[in-house]
Amino acid sequence: MYKRMLVLLDGSRLSETVFSYARELSARLCLNLDLLHVCSPDESEQLPMCQAYVEHMAEMLKAQSEKIQRECGIGQAASIIEARSLVVIGYPPEEILKYAEANHIDLIMLSTHGRSGIRRWGLGSVADKVIHEARVPIWLVPAELREDIIYDRMPSRMIMVPLDGSKLAENILPHVEELVKQRGVEVEVVLLNVGREVTMPRDLWEASREFIGEDISAFRLASEVYLNGIVKQLRAKGINARAEQLIGDPAEEIIQYAADNHPQLIAMSTHGRSGFRRVVFGGVTENILRRLKKTPVFLVRPGE
């Protein structure tokens, strides 16, 4: 069970979106929150102001989360939300990882982009390093997160789970099970398997059509058997699940499916290897993170 989440605040407008989302999740998942702000050494004179800012945000978060719980009938008096705050001086990725390790953090939430002083918090810098080195799952909040996701106003609650047929990619499944159970309401889990579309010159395609058709049919059959097996396992645990097969570039298909179906969350492993075709999930994941603007992503490193 997830008990404590570390939330990164850098004073930017984007981090305020993260705060709003964290507040709602804290209430609905009964999560205690740690708010962390990292000042660079050349910003040390701003330390008192930063401390006052983070302390104020922690107090506000606690009060608002408890209000949401009362309004939604969630939790009992024993599940009062805890909110702690800390400001440190140093290099953001190192301080984030060090804090998570020392304070038994279960999840880390941060925005895909932001600004800390003159340093840009974005993929390729802080978020990228945290994703690659954190020993706990990462909850990434995109720049234009939908308000209906923040405030749980979607017509249906759906978690998208891209899989590639590998055990590495399946590392995400226990986390999805825990999120659904901890949420305590009806959530649909949609498993996606994407096969690469075969592309070649038209004349070669015409000459090889019969072979290519068999190849795609074989992929669909193997994918159907694989996904249905996992769907059966999830349903046996009381989780509402179904499977979808897509043909094309993995990142493109996942992004388009999210745009068309509006999931509340995309949950995936950072790496995997397809049993049907090799898919470097590191590259797929990075492509998805850079282009998704409205849907949060829950990431797990294989082996964690």
Does the global pTM surpass 0.75? yes
Structural domain count of the chain = 2
Range of the domain at 194: 158-300
Residue 128, Ramachandran bin (φ over 0: left; ψ between -120 and 50: alpha; else beta): alpha
Strand pairing partners for 184? none
User: Residue 10 — pLDDT band, cuts 50, 70, 90?
Assistant: confident
Whether residue 173 is found in the same domain as residue 280: yes
Whether residue 292 is found in the same domain as residue 171: yes
Give tens-digit pLDDT for 24-41.
999 889 899 999 988 888
**100, 129, 148 — which closes off a domain?**
148
Whether residue 253 is found in the same domain as residue 178: yes
**148, 174, 208 — which closes off a domain?**
148
Token code pair at residue 139: 């909850």
With helix as H, strand as E and coil as C, how does 147-160 read? Answer: HHHHCCCCCCCEEE
Strand pairing partners for 195? 247
pLDDT(102) > 50: yes
CATH number for position 171 = 3.40.50.620
* Amino acid 68: pLDDT: 87
Strand pairing partners for 92? none
Q: What is the DSSP string of 126-147?
A: HHHHHHHH-SS-EEEE-TT--H
Question: Is residue 153 domain-resident?
Answer: no
Whether residue 136 is found in the same domain as residue 183: no
Report the residue count for the chain.
304
